[in-house]
Amino acid sequence: MTKVEKIFLIIALIYGILFSFLVPPFQVPDEKWHFYKAFSISEGHIFPTKYVVVPKNVKVVVDTFNSVKDVQKKIYESLNLPITQNKVAVDISNVSIYPPIPYLFSSLIFMALKSFSPLILMYIARLVNLIVWITLLYFAIKITPIHKRLFLALSLMPMTIHQAASLSPDSFTIGISFLAIAVIYNYVFGEEKIKRRDFALILILMLILAFSKPGYALLSLIFLMIPSDKFPKRTKILDFIVIIFVVFSLLVVWCISFKGYYTPSEDPAVRPNLQFNYVVTHPLEFIKILGNTISTKLNLYLIMFVGCFGHLNVYLPEFLVYAYLFMLFFISLSDNAKFEIHNKQKLIAFFTFLLLSFLIFLFEYLTWTPVGYNTILGVQGRYFIPISPLFFMIFHNKTVKKLKIKTNRALTILILFILFCLSFSVFKLLEYYWL
């Protein structure tokens, strides 16, 4: 049988490269700010700061693509624009607090190739981020003992490819998150005991994830899925406490040290302190706001989860979005892995997903939603991609597995459907930006 990770490698490489060049420069959400930050890190400015100083022509190129009108002409004119010695300051306070890890590879490219034009550097950095993401996902799919086809489908989802082939830290975050989940799954369902080197690997992965996007640090909770008898002398709880303590201690130090540099929204009506006080003093009202937000925007979130490109202005039709979601549910139900997932493990996975989802909404309420709004602003479907394998774990069903669905035929249908969705996405990008 064809190995799923090899299928992923081929499809991800082809469509990732297409997305890298079909999405015009800096048209992925916040991509220009991430470009500035990566460029600043390449010059040795590792720690967060509200303003970064970049060569003037870097900003000129970025500003050129504030509009995508005549995009082909703009690309042609910008390709040979050199990096100048003149410097300008740029406010990146909305991404300043992000740790440097997800910018590492693009920063190395900028550092090594400064004789190239800013636009060429942007394209090379996109491709390097794509290769790093493909590498992480290749090993995630290879390692996980369950839901290989689900990992494949989530990894090749149009929105995932869109983020992977960009300068967004989402590219690295999705990759390292899927790899961390796959490693935990391997320890959960493997036969070997957890050794010190295994514990060290889990700790390192959780630290990298926490310092890629701090909010996903709570993914550490899935460590509890590993059965207690896998640990020597029943040290599971102690090991879990060590992971939580180390990860969150370092993360708290980072966030406290640099919190003053983070300004998520320029809207004066957004007051995080007032919003926090409201949540604390009116928790039931906040739950109502959360419920109202989900009920009115769920359809939008699902579209943004599966396929919404550019600055959220190019999107897949709803029928294709829901067809893709149905396919995800079906393959999570019909997984052919020989392992049985216990209800306790499903509960831990689902609780972790719910908690992280709640924190995503809470964070956007505090930092992007004006005081007095009855819905939460700023939430995007792509935020849930890194934790999506946990949600679909609850649908793993041994009863459905008994139907003995032919694996090769099901995989072929899955691949054909994914190829259709990705090809349709390529057409939408061509239609909107280039034709």
pLDDT tens-place string over residues 199-218? 889 999 999 999 898 889 89
For residues 235 and 355, the model is more confident at 355
Torsion angle, CA of 204/11/4/186, rounded to 10 degrees? 10
Average pLDDT, the chain: 89
pLDDT tens-place string over residues 120-150? 999 999 999 999 999 999 999 999 999 999 9
Please name the amino acid found at residue 284: L
Mean pLDDT of 357-383: 92
pLDDT classification of 264: cutoffs 50, 70, 90: low
In sequence order, what DSSP letters do the residues of 357-390 get, joined into one string? Answer: HHHHHHHHHHHHSPTT-SS--S--GGGGGGGHHH
CA-closest candidate to residue 149, choices 414, 424, 426: 414
Instruction: Return the top range by mean pLDDT from 99-113, 118-132, 265-279, 386-400.
Output: 118-132
Element (H, E) at 418: helix 407-429
pLDDT tens-place string over residues 70-91? 889 999 988 888 887 888 999 8
Residue 326: its pLDDT value, please?
95
